[in-house]
Chain A
C-alpha cells in the first residue's frame, strides 16, 4: 500500500478540524470557570449555537449574520444562567444542568423545520497554497476563518489571563471574590461578563459544527461534545495550552478509531469508541500531575455563589 504523504496531511487536518469545537467551547468555559463560575450548560449553549447558526444561514443567506447570530444566541442563553446564578444566587450545578436540558429541547423544537435542508458552502482561506508544500500544505492551508481563530484562541486566552489587567481581575475574582469585592472590584459584573463570553464561544463552537464541519442540521448534533469540553477544562487544570493538547488527542483518536473501524481492525467497536475518552483523560491527568501548579491555577471559589453581605 502506498501512502501518499499528502494523505497523512489531510488526516492531520481532519483531526484538527474535529478539535475546533472542543477548543472553542473549552476556552470559553475556561474563562467562565476562572472567574469562579461553574457552567455545566456548555452542551446546551453549543446546540443552541448550532441551530441558530444554521437557521440564520438558511433564512438570511448571510454567513456573517449566521456566525455572529449564533454567538449572540450563546450570549442570550448564557445570560439566563448568569441572571439565575449571579442575581438570584441559584446553585451553579443545578442551573447549568437545566440549561443543557433546555438547550437540547428548544433546539430540537426550532430545528424541526430545518431537518434535511442542505447547508451552504463556507469560504475557505489560502486554498491555492494547499498543494505548494507537501504534508504541511494541507495542514496549514485551506481552512475556514473559524478554524484559524480556534487555533489562535488558546494562546490568546493564555496571554489574556497572564498578561492583561482584565485577565488578572478575572483570576482574582475566581481566587477570592470576597477579597476582590473589598478591593472595589465589581465581582458580579466580572462574573456576568465571563459567563456571557463563555456563552459566545460555545455558540460559535455549535455554529462551526452545523455550518462548517458537517453543514446540516441534525437533532442533538453536538453529541456530547459540550461535556467533553467541560472535562477538558478540568483535566487540563484550567490551562488553555493543555486544552489544545487534550482537544487534539481527543479529536485525533476519534478520527483514527473511525479509520480503524473502516479498515476492519479486530478490536471490539465499543472499545474503539471509548478509546478517545479514556486516553484523553489519562494523558491530561499525567501531564497535569504537579499538585503545586494545580493549586495555583484552580479557581478556589469555583462553583460557589458570591453573596455580598450588606
Chain B
C-alpha cells in the first residue's frame, strides 16, 4: 500500500508577499520528509494548502495520481490527509473525548474502543474525560495525533510539533512518528530546527522566501549545510566566553512566594536565588510551570513582599515596573505584541512608553516628540532594526525586528539587569543569532541577565548558571558547564 503525494506548481500570493512561488514536490510513503525553512519561508502556507485550510491560487495536488480539490479541511480529511497544527486545534473547555467525537461519524462506544486501541498500540495514556485545558502540551499534541489516526490517514503532516515539548516528549514523539512511518503513513515534518531534521528525517526540502531551494537526502547533509541553505548565507557561530568569577552580588531573591487566585496560573513556592554582576542566570522549564508568574514578580507586574527582592542593596519587592526601572532594571516580556509593545502604535510611540524619568520624553505633561524620535532612531541604528521609518506601526515589524526594537529600548538606558522571557521565541536563525550576540555583549559589559527560556539550547549557550523551574519550584542552581540538555530535560519533567 504505497502512498504518493505530489505537489505540482503551487503558487499562493498574498498582498505584498508571495507565500508560495511555483512549488513542486513529491513524497512517497515509507520515508519521513522534512520541510525546512525560516519563519515566513512559506512552509506553513504550503501545508495549509495540503490540509485544505488555504486554497492555492495556482497548482495541483495529486494523491496516488488522483487530482485532489481541497477546498476545505473536510476535503483533506476525506482524502486521508491528517494534519497536526502548530497551534493546537483543540477545544480547551471540552473533554478529550468530546474533542475526538466532534468530527467523527462513529458511535460513542465504538469510537471509545478505537481510541483505546490506538492509545494502547502507541503507548499513550490520556484520561479521555477531563477537559483539554488540564492537559500538558505534550498530551494535547497526542490528542491531536489520535484525532488524525482515528481516520487511518495515508498522510500525516506535523507543523512545528516540538516547539512546546520537552526533550523527553520530543523523543517519544519521534519514536511514534517512526512507528507510523513503518506502518506506511507518509510523514511530512515541518520545522526550523535543524537538529531535529538530522535526528528524524530521511529527506529534506528547504524553502526560502516562498521558493523551494533544494531537495536532498539527509545523509548528504549536515547541520551547517542545511543552515546555510535555509538562511541563504553563511552564518557565523557564536560562543560565549566564560564570565570571570565575580562575587559582587546584584540581585537577591529570598523566600519569594506567590499564590494566585486564578486556578490556571501556577503558584510560586519558596524561590531563592541570587545573581552576581556580569552573570547570566538561565531558568529552564516547560512552559506553564510558573515562568510567566516568576517574570511578573521580578518585573513588578505582580507586587511581592518588600524584602523578598534585594537589588543593588535596595529592597524593591513592593515597587511597580516603572519604579524598578529607576533602579536600572529592564524587562523583555515573552509576548512581544501583547506585553512588550502595542501593535497599533507607531515605533517611536512604543519607545516613549518606556518613560523613565531621565529621558525627558515629556515636558509638563506634553509629549516631546522630537526627543523621542531622535531616541528611536538611535535604537533602530544601534540595534539593527531593519526599517528606517519610525512612524511605522509596530505590528508591521517582523518578530525579529520587533524583538530587536524591544531589547534596544530596554538597553539604551544601560540597565544593570535585564530580565528576559523567551527572547527568541518564534524568531528565525538570523534574528536569534543577533539577539544572542547582544545578550552576550551585555554580560561582557559586566551587566547581568536573568534569562527565562523554554529553549534549552539557548540556555546552555548563554547562561553561566542554570536552574530549572517545575510546578512553581526552582531546582538548585547549577553551573552551566556541569549541565547537559538531558539533565535539564529530566529536571524539567519534575524528577530529581
Contacts and interface: CB of A to CB of B under 8 A. Distances in A.
Contacts of B77: 184
B55 A300 contact: no
A182 B94 CA distance: 16
Contact of B93 (A165, A182, A296): A296
A257 interface: no
A184 B79 CA distance: 13
Given A179-B91, A310-B54, A172 B73 contact: no
B262 interface: yes
Contacts of A298: 93
A184 B53 contact: no
A143 B98 CA distance: 39
A176 B91 contact: yes
Interface string A169-213: 101100110111111110000000000000000000000000000
B102 A168 contact: yes
B361 to A, nearest CB: 34
B286 to A, nearest CB: 21
B85 A182 contact: yes
A184 B92 CA distance: 17
A168 B98 contact: yes
A291 to B, nearest CB: 6
B53 A172 contact: no
B302 interface: no
A181 B71 CA distance: 12
B263 A172 contact: no
B90 interface: yes
B263 A291 contact: yes
B395 to A, nearest CB: 15
Instruction: Decide if the interface of chain B is mainly helix, strand, loop or mixed.
Output: loop
A175 B74 contact: no
A172 B102 contact: yes
Interface in B218-266: 261-264
B262 A184 contact: no
Contact of B91 (A172, A292, A297): A172
A295 interface: yes
**Which has the most chain B C-beta neighbours within 10 Å: A298, A300, A310?**
A310
A182 B89 contact: yes
Contacts, number: 64
Given A168-B98, A182-B73, A291-B263, A175 B91 contact: yes
Interface residues of B, number: 26
A184 B263 CA distance: 32
B93 A168 contact: no
Contacts of A184: 72-74, 77, 103
B131 interface: yes
B264 A295 contact: yes
A298 to B, nearest CB: 8
A172 B54 CA distance: 21
A179 B74 CA distance: 13
B181 to A, nearest CB: 24
Nearest to A290: B263
Contacts of A297: 93
B55 A169 contact: no
Interface in B53-99: 53-55, 72-74, 77, 85, 88-94, 98
Contacts of A171: 91, 93-94, 98
A168 B94 contact: yes
Contacts of B53: 182, 310
B101 interface: yes
Given A183-B103, A291-B263, A296-B131, A175 B93 contact: yes
Nearest to A308: B53
Contacts of A168: 94, 98, 101-102
Nearest to A297: B93
Interface string A274-308: 00000000000000000110011110100000000
Contact of B94 (A165, A172, A181, A310): A172
Given A184-B72, A184-B77, 12 more contacts: A165-B101, A172-B98, A175-B91, A175-B92, A178-B89, A179-B90, A183-B102, A184-B103, A296-B93, A297-B93, A300-B93, A310-B53
Interface of A: 165, 168-169, 171-172, 175-176, 178-185, 291-292, 295-298, 300, 310
13 contacts: A168-B101, A176-B89, A176-B90, A176-B91, A178-B89, A179-B89, A180-B91, A182-B89, A184-B73, A184-B77, A296-B93, A296-B133, A310-B55
Interface of B: 51, 53-55, 72-74, 77, 85, 88-94, 98, 101-103, 131, 133, 261-264
Closest 6 CB pairs of A and B: A184-B74, A179-B89, A175-B91, A184-B73, A172-B91, A182-B89
